[in-house]
Structure 1
Amino acid sequence: MKTKVLIVDDAAFMRLVLKNMLDKNGFEVVGEAANGQEAIDKYKSLSPDLVTMDITMPVMEGIEAVKHIKQLDAEAKIIMCSAMGQQIMVVQSLQAGAKDFIVKPFQEERVLESIRRVVGA
């Protein structure tokens, strides 16, 4: 059974890059969201196995969305994605409940390694 992934990023191009990467490596992208509020709504309706979550987005930022999703589902598997390799963001993401952190621009091997480790595939 394929791992179902929800991709959350305000940049359509970044969602596309990640979607293509996941599609060709056997993952099923079940949905996309452009901000944290959309991510929460889609998490509820789609029940993905994994969420890739951008940090800096309009409406609701990623770290806030992680907190909400973890309240809905303590077992939620979330990997944060950001162009900002700032240490404080990494720490806040992990404290909020994210399982890992990947930096943009995405390096396919690093993304796949992170996903496989987090979902236990």
Structure 2
Amino acid sequence: MSKGILLVDDAAFMRMMIKDILTKNGYEVVGEAENGLKAIEKYKELRPALTMMDITMPELDGIQAVKEIKKFDPNANIIMCSAMGQQTMVIEAIQSGAKDFIVKPFQADRVLEAVKKVIG
């Protein structure tokens, strides 16, 4: 298990925003993926301490990706990211094994609070 964080979002600027918040606060981003399928591949390759995953993405959405990652590694730490108004999806994500969720647009302190809560 690495110490790093895997960022999964189909929007490159969202990944860049989160990466900026995390690296400025001493966290290491070890990988990025732009959809659920790539997220699963990257997770298996990198075994990150934490995965931050968008819900709505092409090819495979975040919820399906969480289910697949949890099958591969039941101890995976995953925080979901969603836009406002996706409450039902957030609930499904938590039921699928996500540890927390963050609402977009991101607030740096909320991102850090969620990361600290999940991986310290």
Instruction: Tell me the TM-score normalised to structure 1 length.
Output: 0.95
Instruction: Give percent identity, aligned residues only.
Output: 62
Q: Distance in 2 between matches of 1:115 and 1:83?
A: 18
Tell me the residue number matched to 2:76.
Answer: 76
Q: Which residue of 2 aligns with 1:10?
A: 10
Aligned residue type for 1:8: V
Task: Give per-residue Cα distances to partners, 1:18-65, cap 9 Å, x unaligned.
Answer: 011111100000000000000000000011000000000000000000
- The secondary structure found in structure 2 opposite 1:40 is helix
Equivalent position SS for 1:106 = coil
Residue pair 2:5, 2:51 contacting (<8 A) in 1 also: yes
Greater CA deviation, 81-90 or 16-25? Answer: 81-90
Secondary structure of 1:10's counterpart equals coil
The alignment's TM-score, normalised by the length of structure 2, stands at 0.96
Q: Report the equivalent of 1:103.
A: 103
Match of 1:49 in 2: 49
Q: How many pairs does the alignment contain?
A: 119
Distance 2:78 2:87 in 1: 18
Q: Which residue of 1 aligns with 2:92?
A: 92
| Long gaps (5+) in structure 2 | none
CA deviation profile, 1:76-115 (whole Å, cap 9, x unmatched): 0000001133221111010110000100010000000010
Say whether 1:114 aligns with 2:119. no
Aligned residues of 2:82 and 2:90 also touching (Cα < 8 A): no
Unaligned runs of 5+ in 1: none
Moved more, 98-107 or 78-87: 78-87
Query: 2-side partners of 1:96 and 1:63: how far apart?
Result: 7
- Report if the CA contact (8 A) 1:11-1:34 is conserved: yes
